[in-house]
Structure 1
Amino acid sequence: MSASPVVYVIGTAAPPIFDWPTLFRLLRERGWKPHPVLSPVAATWCDLDELSTAAGVDVRVDLRRPTEPDPWPKADAVLAAPLTFNTINKWAGGHNDTLALGLLNELMGEGVPIVAAPCVKAVLGSHPAYLRSCRLLSECGVNAVDQAEVLVRREQDKVRFLWPKLVDAVDRVVPQQALTESDDEHARKLDDST
């Protein structure tokens, strides 16, 4: 494993996306190397240059061509935040029509640990399709964060996430020690314990 574990940060068009630079700073302080992916609509809301600078790598929005190499290293973890009602339902249904959804589908299939933080209005959160989608994703191993624990409403209906809690959730699903140990160090520890 590398000294700086890679976390793909996937976001869709919900208000917490405006504070992504804070998330990237926190991830980097914890030793993570964020690699941001935005849904096409979220990309129209954001300053991509600002986000790329904050993350230290270019933001990806579009699917690459089949002949293009993958520009990023493999992900050690995924933080999908914020996720909209639409994205959660499409993801659970296996839709693959954007880079964000494609990566969520592929990485879930590969067993990469995923922390998902929805940002959904209460009226949509009680919709039967949404509830089924959340259950299915949870059964598939997605670590869903209760939005009531991380979402803060501010004046004029502005909402934001408590990013430190989400970074804590990523740290819980992928302990840093496991990421920074080389395979040789891990084998040596196993030999020493027997």
Structure 2
Amino acid sequence: MTKHGRVIYLFGSAAPPVFDIAKVIEDAQARSFDVCLGLTPTAARWLAPQLAELERLTGHPVRSEYKMPGERDVWPEADVIAVAPATFNTLNSWALGLTHDFVVGVVAEGIGKSIPTVAMPCVNAAYVRHNQFERSVAELRAMGVRVLYGKDGFVPNQPGQGKPKEYPWDLVLDAADELASA
């Protein structure tokens, strides 16, 4: 595994596109990123059979839990953060500052550290009708997060009609590449 110059923290939530994360890691590495993979607890459970292979692919531990106080960090510092797929729960928790899990904690802190960040939701049309969703997207954008949602990003499907293989991962990596190069 070749280490690359730019470090991307790739964070995934438990939505069906997360099952394609190995390919996304390879695509990010082809763009000269050193990838550190973080998962929400449910996403980590979904990918449990693949975690060893994902660690081999990235050359870093896959993280889904906070480290213990006093433990050294096992990842290099991030040049950019990409949060995708970002579920309804992840986006709302992040916007509200509810850092109950590792992924949300790191991205919330990343705002304060001025780490360039891109996020792309993966939610169905029923979730986006909840008033908090639009407020959370607006709040994250106001804090400087590039949220790829709507005509230039993720467009929700009706419940039960998801198309995980059509999730536009390239948009996330394009934005991360641009942010890391700025």
Which category describes the TM-score, using the shorter chain as reference length?
Answer: 0.7 to 0.9
Indicate whether 1:164 and 2:165 are aligned.
no
Q: Contact (CA 8 Å) 1:27, 1:34: kept in 2 or not?
A: yes
Q: Which runs of 5+ in 2 are unaligned?
A: none
> Taking every aligned residue pair, what percent have the same amino acid on both sides?
35
Aligned to 1:73: 76
Aligned to 1:186: none
TM-score (norm 2): 0.88
Q: Which has the higher helix share?
A: 1
Indicate whether 1:82 and 2:88 are aligned.
no
Amino acid at match of 2:45: T
Q: Contact (CA 8 Å) 2:51, 2:62: kept in 1 or not?
A: yes
Q: Contact (CA 8 Å) 2:122, 2:154: kept in 1 or not?
A: no
Measure, in 2, the Cα distance between the counterparts of 1:89 and 1:113. 19
Aligned to 2:5: 4
TM-score (norm 1): 0.83
Q: Which runs of 5+ in 1 are unaligned?
A: 179-194
Aligned to 1:139: 142
Q: Contact (CA 8 Å) 2:116, 2:179: kept in 1 or not?
A: yes
Q: CA RMSD in A?
A: 2.1
Aligned to 1:35: 36
Paired residues, number: 174
Aligned to 1:63: 66
Indicate whether 1:49 and 2:55 are aligned.
no
Measure, in 1, the Cα distance between the counterparts of 2:154 and 2:132. 23
Measure, in 1, the Cα distance between the counterparts of 2:175 and 2:88. 21
1:62-108 per-position Cα deviation (integer Å, ceiling 9, x unaligned): 11100211111110000000110011111111011111111011111
